[in-house]
Structure 1
Amino acid sequence: MACGTGWLSAAALKRQAIVTGLDFAENMVAIAKGRCPQGSLYQGDAENLTFESGQFEAVVCSLGILHFPNPEKAIAESFHVLKSGGRYAFTCWTPPTRNPFMALILSSVQTYGSMNLNLPSGPPLFRFSDPTECEMVLSAEGFTQVSVTELPIKWTFSTPEDVMPKIIVSSVRLGSMLAMQSDEQRRNIENAIIEGASKYVTENGVEIPASVMLTLAYKP
C-alpha cells in the first residue's frame, strides 16, 4: 500500500516475494514500474481496494499510513484482502523528541515558515507513533498479536544542500509542507536545514539520525 516509487517493492522482490504494489499517485506508480518490472503495480485507492478477499499473505505500508484521509478505512481494507494468518505491517515517523531528522525539518519550518498550510487530508503526523493508539486501532479492525517496535534509521544525503530538495521530491507530506512556503520562507528554511545538516557530515556524506515505529499484526 502507498508503494510510492517502489523502494519497498524492490526490496520485497529481492526476498523472492510475488509483489503487488498500489499508490494513489499515477506518476509514482510509473517510477515504481521502472524500478520493479517484475512486480504488478497499479494506480489505486488504499481505502477502496479492488483485490479479492484473502488474496495476499502480507500487506505492508512504509511511511504511507499518514497519507490516508481515513487510515482506519485503509487498515480495514488491508484486513479484508489478507489471508487468515496473514501479516500486516506499517511504519511511521517518531516525534521530534526522539527523531533528530524530524526535529531539524519541523523546527526550521516553525521558525522561518508557516505550519498553517492547506495540506492533503490525513491524521496527525505522529498519531501512529503511539503504541497504545496502534494497538487500539488495529484490534478494532480485527487484527491480533499487535506489536510496536521503534527502529533507528538514518537519512543519508550527499551534501547538506541536498537535504531540502530531496525531501521535497521524496516525501509527500514533508515535501508539500516545504514546497508550499513563500520564496523567502523557503530560502530561510533551507538555510536553517543546511546549517543543521552540516552537523551530521561524515566521510560518507550527510547521515542524519531518525527513527520509525514499526507496527506488526496478524489476521486470525
Structure 2
Amino acid sequence: MAVPVPPPPGRRLGPVCAALLVVALAGCAADPGADATPAPSAASATTTDPVGTAAPATPDATPSGTAPSDTAPSDTAPSGNDVAPYDDTSTRDAAGSFGTAQRLDASLEAVVEGPRPATTGERPVRAAPGTPVQVFTLTLTNTGGTPVDAVRWSFPVAVADGEPAVPVFDESLGVPMETFRTIGPGESASLEVAYAAPHDAELAVRVFDTATPDHYVEFSD
C-alpha cells in the first residue's frame, strides 16, 4: 500500500503567499511609495516658473467677493444719488424760475431760491478750501392730506451748459450733509445745497425723485 507523500512545504504555503501577495499589491496600488513624485497642484502651477523657481506672491488687494474696479474714483465726478438727469435722455416735467413754486407730484411742490455766491471754508467735503461755490435753498411743501417721506427728493442736481456741477458740503456755509425727512400735511421743509461753480456761471437746478431719476423739474434764472 502506497504511503501518500506530503507535498513540499512551499506548496502547502501557496494559498497564504497568494493572500499576502494580494495584500501587498493592494498596498502598492494605494500608496505609490516615497519615491513617487506627486503631480503638481493648480496652486503650485500658478506660483512657479518653467524652471521651478517660486514666483513672488501677489498680495490680494481686493476684498473677497468684490470685483476689482477698472477705473479709479474721481475726486470731481458726482457719485451716488447725485448722479441724475444731466442730458436730453431724461424728461423735464416742468420748468420755472428761481423763487417760484413748481409742482413735483400730487402732494409736493418745490421752490429753489438762489444762487448765493460763496467760497468754501477750511473743511469742505468734495471740494478744496477756498473753492468758489453757488448756494441754493430748496424748500418742499406738502400740499396733500397725508405725511410724505421726502428723503428721496434730497439730491437736486445743478448743471451748466448740460454739464453737472459737483455738489459740495460745508458746515461753515450752512450746507451740512443732510436730507429731508417726513413732511406733514401743510408743512414745509428746507435744505441748503451748494455746487462748485464760478460765481458767474449760470446754473440750472434740477429737482427729482430718486425712485424715478429720469424725470425732473428744473429751476433757472
Q: Which TM-score bucket, shorter chain as reference?
A: under 0.3
What TM-score do the two structures reach when normalised by structure 1?
A: 0.24
What TM-score do the two structures reach when normalised by structure 2?
A: 0.23
Query: Which one has a bigger Cα radius of gyration?
Result: 2
More helix by share: 1
